[in-house]
Amino acid sequence: MARSDLALARVRSAYERRHVIAALRGVVLAGALVVVTIALHRTTQMTWLVAAALGATLATYGWRGGAWRRGGLAGVLAGVPVFIAPTIYFMLTRGHCPQCATTPSLTCVLVCFGTSSAVGALVGHVALRDDSPRRFALGAISGALLTGLLGCGTVGFGGAAGVIAGLVAGGLTGWVVGSRTAHA
Amino acid sequence: MIDRGVVQRLMTAAADGDRAAIEPLFQTLWPVTLAYTTRFVGDAALAEDCAQEALVKLFGQLDRFDRERDGLTWALTHATWQCRTARRQRERRREEAHDVDAAADDRGHLEDRELVRSALDTLETLAARDREVIAAVLTDDDELRRSIAPATFRKRLERALGRLRTSWRSRHGTL
């Protein structure tokens, strides 16, 4: 084996090692969010499903690198307000919404939808500044969606629907408004 | 002549996770890095080691690549650090080798001195007659040799050396 071939093999290995470490970090981050979810929310089968999806998604984005990784991490950070919104809502209403756990009220859905919309708009706007805006936006929206679902998904289908609708609507709005501002 | 634009494009792609850009980027950087490290350290084998280590570190940190910076300069900065480290290590190894040689010399002198001291101590255990004949041989003193018959001198020397050997063995074992 020529010296440069050996060097190329080592270079590839170093590159992949870095990406695998980033993937493991994604899994650890997802694990930390699951621990917080257990502490803050009621866990259901849906929680474990979303947690597994979040772990797999962050690991894939971490391994993929670039805009996907940046977007995924930004998405998790952006998803934190959505993640804690139901807890704050329950704290403010002082237990006036115990039925939210199984049959969410309109207010619960609106809280999830409102925070998701705001976060989505922010993500759509920030994504335009990245070198690869589409990849960043997709990574961020999926990261925020899964993180938000860990929180709002525990209040039932309404909460989950609120997160999805809010993120898509907010993301598109932020993207369109950001594009127009950039072109103006 | 290396095209900085190509390096920049390939480095950006590799930093964005494009695996297909790794080999072309390496093939572009390897000759220029190797030429640079060879000029820097002189020794061809050490230069290859430095180029390899520099590129391994560079590719391991590609996700930190700042697209605003020049990729080739970044790669050669890694090579510079690697060469400096290698040169420092080489100098340290030389100093250590010198120290080891000096320590070995000191140890040798010390062992010689201890050996002489042990021999003198053993000699002290012999009778005066035996010491006299051994000293006459060691110092080439012909006075004793002339005062007695040569055969007698040889016999006395043989007996004295036999006793010295026995005394040495009893004190220090066999050599």
Distance CA A136, CA A120 (A): 13
Nearest Cα neighbor of A152 from A96, A98, A81 is A81
Domain borders along chain A are: 2-183
Predicted local distance difference test score (pLDDT) of residue A157: 67
* CA end-to-end span of chain B: 69
DSSP classification of residue A87:
H
Distance CA A58, CA A52 (A): 10
Distance CA A58, CA A99 (A): 32
A62 neighbors A72 (Cβ within 8 angstroms)? yes
Residue B104: both structure tokens together: 């070995």
Give the pLDDT confidence of B84-133 residue by residue, as tens digits.
999 888 888 888 887 777 777 777 777 777 777 777 788 778 888 887 88
Report which residue type is found at A106: L
Predicted local distance difference test score (pLDDT) of residue A156: 64
Distance CA A59, CA B10 (A): 24
Touching A: B residues 57-116, CB under 8 Å: 57, 59-63, 67
Predicted local distance difference test score (pLDDT) of residue A176: 77
ipTM of the complex: 0.71
Q: Which of B18, B51, B67 sits opposite A131 (nearest CB)?
A: B67
Residue B94: both structure tokens together: 């030389």
Distance CA B154, CA B32 (A): 80
Predicted local distance difference test score (pLDDT) of residue A13: 93
Distance CA A56, CA A27 (A): 7
Please count the residue pairs, one from chain A and one from chain B, whose beta carbons lie less than 8 angstroms apart. 58
Predicted local distance difference test score (pLDDT) of residue A18: 93
Among B32, B46, B49, B59, which would you mutate to test the A interface (most chain A Cβ atoms within 10 Å of its Cβ)?
A: B59
Which residue numbers in chain B have pLDDT < 70?
1, 139-140, 174-175
Mean pLDDT of successive 10-residue stretches along chain A, which has 184 residues? 82 93 95 90 84 95 92 91 84 60 70 84 83 87 89 71 77 74 64
Predicted local distance difference test score (pLDDT) of residue B166: 86
